[in-house]
Amino acid sequence: AQSVTQLDSQVPVFEEAPVELRCNYSSSVSVYLFWYVQYPNQGLQLLLKYLSGSTLVKGINGFEAEFNKSQTSFHLRKPSVHISDTAEYFCAVSDGDNAGNMLTFGGGTRLMVKP
């Protein structure tokens, strides 16, 4: 079974600064990778996903993530954050080798953007 580690539970950052949220997963031959965002008192919505192809994936709201197979990582980045990016971010992985698309989620990283 997959496991997902989000190394930082909270990331404070000033507005307009760059940010990287880290995600590592347990090794597998084939994985599908996702980043979700959760704004306060809301459900999760998809930021971006990697299924195959280019290892650099661009998502909504200016976010991007890079799949690094050798390091089993899928870190999320944004070059300049806004106050409105304050939210909790979840990395999720599904095992592409097995039938079924159940996702395994990391524990989440709370991004706090300060003015």
Partner 1 sequence: DAGITQSPRHKVTETGTPVTLRCHQTENHRYMYWYRQDPGHGLRLIHYSYGVKDTDKGEVSDGYSVSRSKTEDFLLTLESATSSQTSVYFCAISPQLAAEEFFGPGTRLTVL
In the list 49, 59, 72, 77, the residue contacting partner 1 (rule: CB under 8 A) is 49
Rounded Cα distance between 67 and 85, Å, is 22
Specify the residue, 6 or 113, whose C-beta has the smaller distance to partner 1: 6
Residue 102 lies near partner 1 (rule: CB under 8 A): yes
| Piece of the chain touching partner 1 by CB under 8 A; list 19-27, 57-65, 77-85, 89-97 | 89-97
Helix (H) or strand (E) holding 88: strand 87-95
User: Distance between CA 48 and CA 9 in Å, rounded?
Assistant: 20
What is the Cα–Cα distance from 72 to 74, expressed in whole angstroms? Answer: 7
- When the beta carbons of 15 and 64 are compared against partner 1, the nearer one is 64
- Does 46 bind partner 1 (CB under 8 A)? Our answer is yes
State how far the Cα of 93 lies from the Cα of 106, in Å rounded to an integer: 9
> Given the rule CB under 8 A, which of 19-27, 58-66, 72-80, 94-102 is the region that contacts partner 1?
94-102
Q: Tokens standing for 60?
A: 């909504």
Report the alpha-carbon distance of residue 76 to residue 59 in Å, rounded: 10
Q: Enumerate binding residues for partner 1 (CB under 8 A).
A: 4, 6, 9, 32, 34, 36, 41-46, 49, 51, 90, 92, 94, 96, 99-103, 105-108
